């Protein structure tokens, strides 16, 4: 799309929006209209004009396939007869199933099994009550509030494009309902590129859905592929957990950075993150720069929306939905995600038993390698069944490289490394200064000098590295140099650090860390970056790590 075409789209959208900042127009709660039997995202029903009563924090519609699952569960629990049928017009939020604005029943998942948490009572005359198109009636009851939400979001998108003209907007497209709404809203203003990071552990439905969605709206889809799949990376880092969340940095951050590095401009990215999704996301800003990808500015048009608002907007504009939602999934993402709920895991096992079995086998292999010497098979089964792997804490098996102070050079340090100096170390040293190589007989010496700061010398294939500090700058220089040495000693080629370079000099080639010397400006942002703890995924999450200690 040309700049003129983009400007015309922006101008057209602006004419439909109000000027100035608009506050989120609806209360952060769900109400219920007793006259029309529909949920409300504001107090007033657009169908009958009555005021709704408080119903709950949020809701999601229950689709027919999920309703059949609930009927099987309730029959097995002995509370629904064989001929019994649940009402069609059901909603759900965190295991609380709502009918006509009140709780019908509540359940939870314990050790992979659904368990009834509340009483359940349903009269035979209510079997199958309601219509399958009940969500569309809810859309009509909330049309004015949805219109205000849409206008505010489009104005926010307009303002972002006006602030950064001449750039092609990108939508981070995961295949979920939130990114679908975001993509549609941005397409009302511009012609965005849909960017999809293939984590290699998406559900099969998602892979089919992202292509069909892009085709439906005539949008370009960029599907970035990783060099290493998720299960292989688990062998290097161990399975992710809610504490050891390396997977998003490695598979989403790395692939996005690689894509952005191919662009010759700063990218404007729109995503569908919402504050209601988690405590961590509740603190997210609506616009921000991404510390994992320095060439990216992120805008979040629907960050204040509730789940029900997103659902009603999807149905209002008849947007195609990922088939996973019809099976009962409340969120779309990676099937082994440590943030999945017990119900998500239950549905994965129910709908995709082969994927679930494969993941459980990998987890069992990890347990046997790390914990079998302390725990028996019964503990392993409990660890898997109750999802205790999601709470896995760091477990360090540490190897040390040593550093000593030469007797005759008090301003210097001598490092004895646990592996010989190689080309990979040269790559990690490039941000610290220009590396020079000198052939002396059968040996190749390396030297690096940063005027007024330090001198680094060593020999390829030797384990010793010498650092001389200049002008009393030893402390600060030591921190920077040792940070790069630790990265070199522990690097697994995950690529999570690719996006920290504003010049696009960092890459992963054939699984090895590389810095293009002709692109590196020695700004040292990659050295100082704290996009994750210690500025390196391997240092932060690797179980078998190499550290540096002074003798």
pLDDT category, 19, cuts 50, 70, 90?
Answer: very low
Sheet of 30-33: strand order equals: 38-40, 30-33, 53-56
168 in the same domain as 112 = no
The lowest-confidence range among 93-97, 169-173, 210-214, 533-537 is 533-537
> How much is the pLDDT for 10?
34
In a domain, 1, yes or no: no
pLDDT in tens, 66-90: 999 999 999 999 999 999 999 999 9
> How much is the pLDDT for 135?
96
434 in the same domain as 376 = no
Tell me what percent of the chain is helix, strand and coil, each rounded to the nearest 5. 40, 20, 40
Question: For the chain, give me the number of helices (H) and strands (E)?
Answer: 18, 23
107 in the same domain as 187 = no
135 in the same domain as 151 = no
402 in the same domain as 371 = no
pLDDT in tens, 334-387: 999 999 999 999 999 999 999 999 999 999 999 998 888 888 889 999 999 999
Say which residues have a Cβ less than 8 Å from residue 145's Cβ, sequence separation at least 6.
25, 26, 40, 41, 42, 46, 309
In a domain, 167, yes or no: yes
pLDDT in tens, 417-448: 999 999 999 999 999 999 999 988 888 999 99
296 in the same domain as 159 = yes
Q: Considering only residues 389 and 296, tell me which one the structure prediction assigns the higher pLDDT.
A: 389
> How much is the pLDDT for 396?
67
Has residue 182 got a pLDDT over 70? yes
Q: Considering only residues 545 and 446, tell me which one the structure prediction assigns the higher pLDDT.
A: 446
Mean pLDDT score of the chain: 89
What are the residue ranges of helices labelled H in 120-188? 134-141, 143-163, 177-187
Distance (Å, rounded) from C-alpha 244 to C-alpha 49? Answer: 50
CA dihedral 48, 54, 60, 63 (to 10 degrees): -60
Has residue 107 got a pLDDT over 70? yes
357 in the same domain as 321 = no
Distance (Å, rounded) from C-alpha 60 to C-alpha 328? Answer: 10
Per the structure block, which two tokens stand in for 450?
Answer: 């940063």
> How much is the pLDDT for 24?
39
Sign of the alpha-carbon torsion through 300, 303, 304, 309:
positive
Which of 343, 374, 391 represents a domain boundary (last residue)? 391
| Alpha carbon separation from 493 to 14, 227, 239, 380, 517 (Å, rounded) | 45, 10, 17, 30, 18
155 in the same domain as 298 = yes
Has residue 519 got a pLDDT over 90? yes
Distance (Å, rounded) from C-alpha 103 to C-alpha 195? Answer: 39
The residue whose two tokens read 């709470």 is 391
pLDDT in tens, 298-347: 999 999 999 999 999 999 999 999 999 999 999 899 999 999 999 999 99
Q: Which helix (H) or strand (E) holds 259?
A: helix 254-261
What average pLDDT does range 445-460 have in this prediction?
A: 92
In a domain, 522, yes or no: yes
Has residue 551 got a pLDDT over 80? no
157 in the same domain as 133 = no
The lowest-confidence range among 5-19, 228-242, 254-268, 491-505 is 5-19
Strand partners, 375: none
What are the residue ranges of helices labelled H in 374-524? 377-385, 423-429, 474-490
Distance (Å, rounded) from C-alpha 209 to C-alpha 204? Answer: 9
Q: Provide, rounded to the nearest whole percent, the portion of the chain with pLDDT above 90.
A: 68
221 in the same domain as 133 = no
In a domain, 527, yes or no: yes
> How much is the pLDDT for 342?
95
What average pLDDT does range 385-405 have in this prediction?
A: 82
In a domain, 309, yes or no: yes
Per the structure block, which two tokens stand in for 417?
Answer: 């490394």
Which of 106-110, 499-503, 509-513 has the highest mean predicted lDDT (pLDDT)?
106-110
Closest Cα to residue 112, out of 384, 391, 389, 392? 384
> How much is the pLDDT for 407?
52
Distance (Å, rounded) from C-alpha 70 to C-alpha 109? Answer: 13
543 in the same domain as 415 = yes
pLDDT category, 406, cuts 50, 70, 90?
Answer: low
pLDDT category, 541, cuts 50, 70, 90?
Answer: confident
pLDDT in tens, 269-309: 999 999 999 888 889 999 998 777 777 899 999 999 999 99
What are the residue ranges of helices labelled H in 164-199? 177-187
Query: What residues make up the domain containing 203?
Result: 147-326
The total number of structural domains that make up the chain:
4
Has residue 7 got a pLDDT over 50? no
In a domain, 12, yes or no: no
pLDDT in tens, 145-167: 999 999 999 999 999 999 988 78
In a domain, 3, yes or no: no
In a domain, 5, yes or no: no
Has residue 214 got a pLDDT over 70? yes
Strand partners, 334: 202
Closest Cα to residue 421, out of 398, 455, 444, 449? 444
Has residue 503 got a pLDDT over 70? yes
> How much is the pLDDT for 423?
95
Residue 275 belongs to a domain with what CATH number? 3.40.50.620
Q: How many residues does the chain have?
A: 551
CB-CB neighbours of 182 under 10 Å: 30
> How much is the pLDDT for 372?
83
DSSP code, position 297: E
415 in the same domain as 362 = no
């Amino acid at each position: 799309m040309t700049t003129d075409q983009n400007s015309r789209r922006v101008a057209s959208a602006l004419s439909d929006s109000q000027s100035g900042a608009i506050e989120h127009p609806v209360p952060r709660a769900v109400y219920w209209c007793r006259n029309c039997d529909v949920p409300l995202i504001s107090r007033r029903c657009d169908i009958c004009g009555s005021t709704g009563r408080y119903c709950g924090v949020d809701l999601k519609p229950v689709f027919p396939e999920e309703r059949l699952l609930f009927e099987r569960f309730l029959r097995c629990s002995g509370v629904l007869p064989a001929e019994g049928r649940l009402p069609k017009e059901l909603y759900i939020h965190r295991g609380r199933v709502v009918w006509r604005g009140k709780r019908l029943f509540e359940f939870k998942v314990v050790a992979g099994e659904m368990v009834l948490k509340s009483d359940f009572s349903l009269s035979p005359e209510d079997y199958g009550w309601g219509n399958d198109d009940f969500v569309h009636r809810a859309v009509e009851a909330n049309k004015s509030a949805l219109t205000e939400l849409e206008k505010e979001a489009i104005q926010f998108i307009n303002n972002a494009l006006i602030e950064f003209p001449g750039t092609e907007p990108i939508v981070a497209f995961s295949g979920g309902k939130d990114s679908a709404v975001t993509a549609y809203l941005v397409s009302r203003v511009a012609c965005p590129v849909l960017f999809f990071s293939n984590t290699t552990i998406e559900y099969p439905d998602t892979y089919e859905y992202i292509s069909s969605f892009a085709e439906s709206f005539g949008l370009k889809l960029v599907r970035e592929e990783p060099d290493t799949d998720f299960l292989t990376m688990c062998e290097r880092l161990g399975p992710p957990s809610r504490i050891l969340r390396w997977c998003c940095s490695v598979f989403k951050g790395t692939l996005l950075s690689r894509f952005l590095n191919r662009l010759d401009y700063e990218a404007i990215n729109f995503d569908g993150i919402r504050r209601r999704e988690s405590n961590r996301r509740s603190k997210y800003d609506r616009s921000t720069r991404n510390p994992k990808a320095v060439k990216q500015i992120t805008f979040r048009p629907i960050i204040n929306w509730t789940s029900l608002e997103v659902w009603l907007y999807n149905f209002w504009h008849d947007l195609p939905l990922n088939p996973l939602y019809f099976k009962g999934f409340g969120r779309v993402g990676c099937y082994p995600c440590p943030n999945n709920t017990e119900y998500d895991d239950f549905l994965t096992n129910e709908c995709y038993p082969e994927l679930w079995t494969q993941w459980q086998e990998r987890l069992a292999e990890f347990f046997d390698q790390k914990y079998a010497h302390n725990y028996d098979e019964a503990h392993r089964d409990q660890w898997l069944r109750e999802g205790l792997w999601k709470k896995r804490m760091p477990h360090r098996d540490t190897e040390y490289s040593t550093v000593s102070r030469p007797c005759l050079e008090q301003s210097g340090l001598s490092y004895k490394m646990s592996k010989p100096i190689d080309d990979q170390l040269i790559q990690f040293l490039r941000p610290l200064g220009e590396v020079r190589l000198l052939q002396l007989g059968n040996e190749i010496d390396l030297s690096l000098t940063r005027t007024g700061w330090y001198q680094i010398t060593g020999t390829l294939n030797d384990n010793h590295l010498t650092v001389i500090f200049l002008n009393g700058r030893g402390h600060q220089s030591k921190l920077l140099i040792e940070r790069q040495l630790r990265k070199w000693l522990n690097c697994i080629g995950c690529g999570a650090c690719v996006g920290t370079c504003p010049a696009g000099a960092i890459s992963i080639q054939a699984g090895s860390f590389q810095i293009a010397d002709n692109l590196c400006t020695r700004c040292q942002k990659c050295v100082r970056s704290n996009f994750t703890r210690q500025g390196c995924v391997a240092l932060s999450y690797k179980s078998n790590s190499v550290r540096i200690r002074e003798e």
